[in-house]
Amino acid sequence: MKKVYLPVVLLVILSVFITACGKTESQSADKNEISGTITFLTNRTDMIGEKYDDYAKRFNEKYPDAHVEFEAVTDLDKTTKIRVGSGEFPDVVLIPTIPNSDLPKYFAPLDDLGLNDRIYFKDYKSFENKVYGISVGATTTGILYNKKAFADAGITTVPQTLDEFYAAADKLKAAGKVALASNFKDQWTLYPWSSEIPTAIAGDADLNNNRLQSDAPYQLDNPYGQSMGIIRNMYEKGYLEPDINSTNWEQSKKDIASGKFAMYVIGNWAIPQVIESGTDSANIGYFPFPYDNSDKHNVTLAPDWAYGVNKNSEHPATAKAFVKWMLEDSGFDDFAGFIPVLKDKKPAVTQLTEFNSFKPKYLEAVSDDPKVTAIVNKAQITKEAFVQEFVLASDPQTIIDKYNAAWANAKKSLGN
């Protein structure tokens, strides 16, 4: 091994020289002053040179000594994870999927921002009572629909129960439309059926974590089976795309916008994307998913990526001020169609106002139990693939059994 290190050492020395040459700014500023230039690593490549230019300018107006630069990557989680792991990463990042117990190793606590009592998901990225990450916004899951498609099919009121929902789907089918765009083939679009909707049915944000107590967490008649049963039923009745194994997510947004497809079961983040695909905001509506025949609706409230501040940042005060500015003043949540993570801020998106008019009960997401994540990874369960197999199988019980067996095996081998 010794020989291997030599070239590494040489290269490191070389790169230190090169970076040293590049540094012209002196780094003598006080750490508590809001000044200097910080970098924010983001996943919004589309906002570089557009909205971010405006943010940089406005941030600088508020803090004349401070500048922010933006770096965007498409493969956020992988890239950030590697860079965080190496210890060299920008001042502000979106925290990648690492265990919460590792957060203090890389990130600075954000408790001194004074936001703890005002935000959702305070405990989501925290460890030992310190908050290390604040979500950029919150999303809920519901039904996004094309109002004109509903009107064309003669649906006058938004379905409030599961029976009404099936009836509406039937009318849409009769009108020659795809009632619900599942984007089945694309797989990731099926996530609500295996996590959000079961959680809403159970009325318990801890549903996914409670799997830890069971050797057979999936049953046909429990929330998971009920939820997947709904999409299976939709498939059998022909309410989904004509061939669910040949769907196209990008195309489906245009089809929803044009009214060829009527509904999505999806997060509210999709609203601006559908509107951009060629329709008016007024034509797109959003309502809670009626998973049963009662008139009460639970909906999940889930965090998005969370801002984290590099604990070795040269300008920690500036980085923190930037996080606070993003949450309070930037208007990013409205721009991106999020529910603001600050509880006292109302969403500006009209579709969310419509959604809230149905008085849904929000279930605030809890962070994943690392033990549950470990079992899922060990058993190699892709929750969306589970939905696919459940829908396509001739007997869904066999799929339930298969996943329960994988779950129980993994659980046993990890000693839980």
Site residues for other proteins, 101-130, by CB under 8 A, read: 102
Quick one: 160 or 382, whose CB is closer to other proteins? Answer: 382
Cβ burial of 264 (10 Å; 0-12, 13-18, 19+) is: buried
Quick one: 3 or 23, whose CB is closer to other proteins? Answer: 3
Q: Does 4 bind other proteins (CB under 8 A)?
A: yes
Q: Does 185 bind other proteins (CB under 8 A)?
A: yes
DSSP state string for 3-58: HHHHHHHHHHHHHHHHHHHH--S-----TTSS-EEEEEEES-GGGTTTHHHHHHHH
Q: Count other C-beta atoms under 10 Å from residue 210's C-beta.
A: 13
Helices (H), 49-128: 51-62, 76-86, 103-106
Only segment of 6-14, 209-217, 294-302, 360-368 that touches other proteins (CB under 8 A): 6-14
Question: What residue has token string 């081998």?
Answer: 413
Q: Does 73 bind other proteins (CB under 8 A)?
A: no
- Cα 81–chain centre separation: 17
Quick one: 382 or 404, whose CB is closer to other proteins? Answer: 382
Only segment of 26-34, 167-175, 274-282, 375-383 that touches other proteins (CB under 8 A): 375-383
Q: Does 248 bind other proteins (CB under 8 A)?
A: yes
Q: Does 95 bind other proteins (CB under 8 A)?
A: no
Q: Does 84 bind other proteins (CB under 8 A)?
A: yes
Q: Does 244 bind other proteins (CB under 8 A)?
A: yes
Q: State the sign of the Cα–Cα–Cα–Cα dihedral 384, 389, 390, 391.
A: positive
Quick one: 27 or 86, whose CB is closer to other proteins? Answer: 86
Task: Quote the Cα angle for 236-237-241, to 5°.
Answer: 85
Among the listed residues 230, 271, 376, 400, the single contact to other proteins using CB under 8 A: 376
Pairing of strands 261-267, 178-180: parallel
- Taking the complex as a whole, the smallest distance from the CB of residue 188 to other proteins amounts, in Å, to 8
DSSP state string for 266-287: EETTHHHHHHHTT--GGGEEEE
Q: What are phi and psi of 90, to 5 degrees?
A: -60, 170
Binding mask 393-412 for other proteins (x = CB under 8 A): x-------------------
Q: Does 214 bind other proteins (CB under 8 A)?
A: no
Site for other proteins, rule CB under 8 A: 4, 7-8, 10-11, 78, 81, 84-85, 97-98, 102, 185-188, 241-246, 248, 376-378, 380, 382, 385, 388-389, 392-393
